[in-house]
Amino acid sequence: MKYDINFLKEIPKTDLHLHLDGSLRINSLIEMSKKLKVALPSSTEEGLKELVFKDQYQNLGEYLHGFQYTCAAMRDLENIERAAYELAIDNQEEGVNYIEVRFAPQLLIDNSGKLTFESIMQATADGLERAKKEYNNSSKVKVEGRPEFHYGIICCAMRMFTKAFSPYYNNLFAVMNHSSSNEVIRAAAMDMVKACVKLRDESGIPIVGVDIAGQEAGFPASNFKEMFAYAHKHFLSKTIHAGEAYGAESIFDAITECHANRIGHGYTLFAPELITHPEIKDKQEFVKRLASFIADQRIVIEVCLTSNLQTNPAIKDIKNHKLGDMLANRIATTFCTDNRLVSNTTVTKEFKLATDNFDIPLAHLKDIIAYGFKKSFHHGTYLDKRKFANENLKYFDKIASRYAIPTS
Q: How much of the chain, in percent, has pLDDT values that exceed 70?
A: 100
- In CATH terms, the superfamily for domain 5-402 is Metal-dependent hydrolases (3.20.20.140)
pLDDT at 182: 96
Residue from 99, 188, 186, 179 nearest 135 by CA: 99
Q: Positive or negative, the Cα torsion across 373, 152, 336, 23?
A: positive
- Tell me phi and psi for residue 68, to 5 degrees: -65, -30
How many Å apart are CA 22 and CA 323, to the nearest integer?
23
Q: How confident is the model at residue 408 (pLDDT cuts 50, 70, 90)?
A: low
Domain boundaries, the chain: 5-402
Q: Is pLDDT above 70 for 144?
A: yes
User: Do the beta carbons of residue 258 and residue 225 sit within 8 Å?
Assistant: yes
Q: Give the number of C-alpha atoms closer than 13 A to the C-alpha of residue 139, restricted to the C-beta side.
A: 0
The one-letter code for the residue type at 75 is R
pLDDT digit string (tens) for 238-280? 999 999 989 999 999 999 999 999 999 999 999 999 999 999 9
Q: Which long-range contacts (CB under 8 A, 24 or more apart) does 132-135 make?
A: 132/88, 135/88, 135/89, 135/92
Strand boundaries in 279-353, DSSP class E: 300-303, 333-335
- Tell me phi and psi for residue 171, to 5 degrees: -65, -40
**Contact residues for 63 (Cβ-Cβ < 8 A; gap 6+):** 57, 307, 310, 311, 342
Mean pLDDT of all residues in 165-171: 97
Q: How confident is the model at residue 379 (pLDDT cuts 50, 70, 90)?
A: very high
Number of H helices, E strands in the chain: 18, 8
- Pick the more confident residue, 150 or 218: 150
pLDDT at 1: 81
pLDDT digit string (tens) for 292-333? 999 999 999 999 999 999 999 889 999 999 999 999 999 999
User: Do the beta carbons of residue 132 and residue 150 sit within 8 Å?
Assistant: yes
Query: What is the model's pTM?
Result: 0.97
Mean pLDDT of all residues in 99-117: 97
Q: Is pLDDT above 80 for 407?
A: no
pLDDT at 344: 97
How many Å apart are CA 19 and CA 269, to the nearest integer?
22
Supply the Cα-derived Rg of the chain in whole angstroms. Answer: 20
pLDDT digit string (tens) for 75-90? 999 999 999 999 999 9
pLDDT digit string (tens) for 15-46? 999 999 999 999 999 999 999 999 999 999 99
How many Å apart are CA 227 and CA 357, to the nearest integer?
39
Whole-angstrom CA distances from 377 to 130, 183, 200, 210 are 20, 29, 14, 10
Q: Is pLDDT above 70 for 13?
A: yes
Give ∠ CA 395-151-383 in degrees, rounded to 5. 65
How many Å apart are CA 32 and CA 27, to the nearest integer?
9
What SS3 state is found at 259?
coil
DSSP class of 212: E
User: Do the beta carbons of residue 74 and residue 83 sit within 8 Å?
Assistant: yes
